Chains A and B, each alone.
Chain A
Amino acid sequence: MAKLIELNGISKSFDGEKVLDSINFYIRDGEFVTLLGPSGCGKTTLLRIIGGFETADEGNLYFDGVEISDVPAHKRNINTVFQKYALFPHLNVYENIAFPLRLKKISEEDIQTRVRDMLGMVKLSGFENKSVSTLSGGQQQRVAIARALISHPKVLLLDEPLGALDLKLRKDMQNELKSIQQKIGITFVYVTHDQEEALSMSDTIAVMAEGEIQQIGTPTDIYNEPKNAFVADFIGESNIVDGIMLEDNRVKFSGHIFDCVDGGFGENEAVDVVVRPEDVDVVAPEAGMLTGKVTSVTFKGVHYEIIVDIRGFKWMIQSTDYVSPEATIGIYIEPDAIHIMKKSKYSGMFGDYSSFSDEMDRLSDADAAEEF
């Protein structure tokens, strides 16, 4: 697949504060790319630069091999689904969707068939004459998508399009969006801060933090081979402990030497070791590679979430077997469940569950604050 959009050293500051710091990456034709990152990391700004609503201070933006930094938004073959939909309240559903076609002097019959087809695709047949303000959030969302797709753009930018929907509807719309994208085969650039959404929908994920891209890769790459502590922590749950790489395929952490499948580090190089909670097996204390004391057990439906204190470091383990709190258990880790990362500026900031309950509170506070 050919590169459709290419960003080359894109930087942007607002009021002297660097919001995007030398972003480099490219998007292939027909790909579903997700920009994933915490609130305020610059996702919307990056999307607005691609859409033409913001100009980068530095760097080049190429579309189909042509530099388009100076091309105004209305001349770019890129359409956007805005976070707040931005439907035109003075037009009904039909006219909202027909809007881009009416600008192009297309015959009335063509407009009618195209709008009807599009309404069918987003499952809104029969809503033609409704006022957009009487629609539910999910329906407005579909109108916005239909309106953005009807003029056959090469790229669709979506800025947290499902942010305002409830969980159930979100899941349905995720599937629908993905199938629409596959059906029409155009490039989607999707912004979200929901890692689950990113993992389930994307061909490629770009994880962003503090205005920089931390890692680009397929969902499995990003999940299994996170590049640094930030990515490991942001995508799914991770235990991240300090380790020493003794030699290729041998790493020492928590006072024990483990076999692993990573190499290419310096001898005795300090590294970050990632172990996913679901990859840790609970065994009898004498059979364990490490032993520790259980400090809390929470039932999560599919599994128990067990916090174990191993040499002062709190590990999270997900297990389908119940263990009693206060029990001493052993843990066993397969070599391919151990992932080694180079030290980064995020080392030591993530991956310890000692303040787990506090962290959950903070997270849910942040979520709640975002609602407003």
Chain B
Amino acid sequence: MKHLSRIYLILIFGILYIPILTLILFSFNAENSTAVFSGFSFRWYIELFNSPDTFEALRNTLILAVLSALISTVIGTAAAEGIYRMRSKLMKSAISSVTNIPMMNPDIVTGMSMMLFFVAVFGILGLSGDSMGFVTMLIAHVTFCLPYVILSVLPRINELGNSLSEAALDLGCTPIQAFFKVKLPNIMPGVISGMVMAFTMSLDDFVISYFVVGSSSFQTLPLLIYSMTKKKVTPDMYALSTLVVVTIFILLVISNLKSGKRVGDKRKGGVKK
């Protein structure tokens, strides 16, 4: 039994990680081959870093991801609190399912519908497709990140219930103070995991970005990789992908360490002098 579960674990990890490890390995390949590993080198990384396009795209991707994570976390947390406070049970479940629909929808449907919407709005405003790009992408990313934030915050709010907020009001907090001083700190793990989820969703989105970028020259990493593959698959894309994988890995480690540390903090805490 023990062996079986171990084999199962190895199998799962193998299936999940061997392709990624292969990608990482070939990003260090000395030659331009996808089949033969002919020696270790940083050649593709150097090539990658010498291309201004890549840097531009990397910067855009990070700005977009950070902004959409922040904005969707703020709106999503407020929305979750709003849903929690709804009186009617029917409304509550209706709104919850409505917010989940964009998450269930295939990206391509979301992407196309947003494109149509933006084209229509831009048409009415008399703007050309060239001015689409950063703003439309930010709106789109915030939109598809929102359900993930709500989904990770709402259960925390439900679990917390009313009693702590009522205690805060009782002790003299205004409703706003009660939210920020008592409720928010207690739902923080949900808020943070929602934000991390939003960040990674934004980071690796290709389909929706592809649709809403319009004819502007705004590039993100996924868009850049896609446009590169249309020409020729070169190992500098492996290098780029490797960097993305490593970034996400570091993020995960940090967020795990953080949630571990929060528990520790609770135990210590000190008298402020």
Q: State whether these chains interact.
A: yes
User: B270's contact among A53, A73, A79, A129, by CB below 8 Å, is which?
Assistant: A129
Contact A94 B271 (CB under 8 A): yes
Chain B contact residues, CB within 8 Å of chain A: 163-164, 166-175, 177-178, 181-182, 185-186, 266-273
Q: Which residue of chain A has the shortest Cβ distance to B166 in the bound complex?
A: A53
Determine the chain B residues whose CB is within 8 A of the CB of A112 once the complex forms: 271
> A82-B163, A82-B166, A91-B269 in contact; A74/B182 too (CB < 8 A)?
no
The contact sample of 14 A-B pairs, CB cut-off 8 A, is A51-B170, A72-B175, A73-B166, A74-B175, A82-B163, A82-B166, A86-B163, A90-B182, A91-B269, A95-B272, A100-B172, A103-B172, A104-B172, A131-B269
In the complex the two chains form, is B269's CB within 8 Å of A92's CB? yes
Task: Find the B residue at minimum CB distance from A80.
Answer: B170
Residues from chain A with a CB closer than 8 A to the CB of B186 are: 88-90
Minimum CB–CB distance from B258 to chain A (whole Å) comes to 15
B185→A90 contact, CB < 8 A = yes
Q: Of the candidates A74, A82, A148, which one forms a contact with B173 in the assembled complex, judged by CB atoms under 8 Å apart?
A: A74
Q: Determine how close the nearest CB of chain B comes to the CB of A160; give it in whole angstroms.
A: 14
Residues of the A chain whose Cβ atoms lie less than 8 Å from the Cβ of B268:
129
The answer to whether B266 touches A90 (Cβ under 8 A) is yes
CB–CB B177/A88 < 8 A: no
Task: Give the docked Cα–Cα distance between A258 and B173 (Å).
Answer: 62
Contact at B271–A128, with CB atoms within 8 Å? Answer: yes
Is the CB–CB distance between B169 and A88 below 8 Å?
no
Q: Does A151 contact B (CB under 8 A)?
A: yes
Residue on A nearest B270 in the bound complex, by CB:
A129
Contacts A92-B269, A94-B271, A128-B271 hold; do A80 and B172 have CB atoms under 8 A apart? no
Interchain CB contact under 8 A, B170 and A79: yes
Instruction: Name the B residues within 8 Å of A53 (CB-CB).
Output: 166, 169-170
> What mask results when residues 105 to 144 of chain A are scored 1 for a CB within 8 Å of chain B, else 0?
0001000100000000000000011010110000000000
Report how far A99 CA is from B170 CA in the complex, Å.
11
B177's closest neighbor in chain A, by CB?
Answer: A103
Supposing A95-B269, A129-B271, A131-B267 touch, asked if A73 and B182 sit within 8 A by C-beta, the answer is no
Residues of B within 8 A of A78 (CB): 170
A84 is an interface residue with CB less than 8 A from chain B = yes
A74 touches B174 (CB 8 A): yes
Nearest B residue to A90 via CB reads B185
B182 surroundings in chain A (CB, below 8 A): 88, 90
Among B167, B178, B270, point to the contact of A80 (Cβ < 8 A). B167
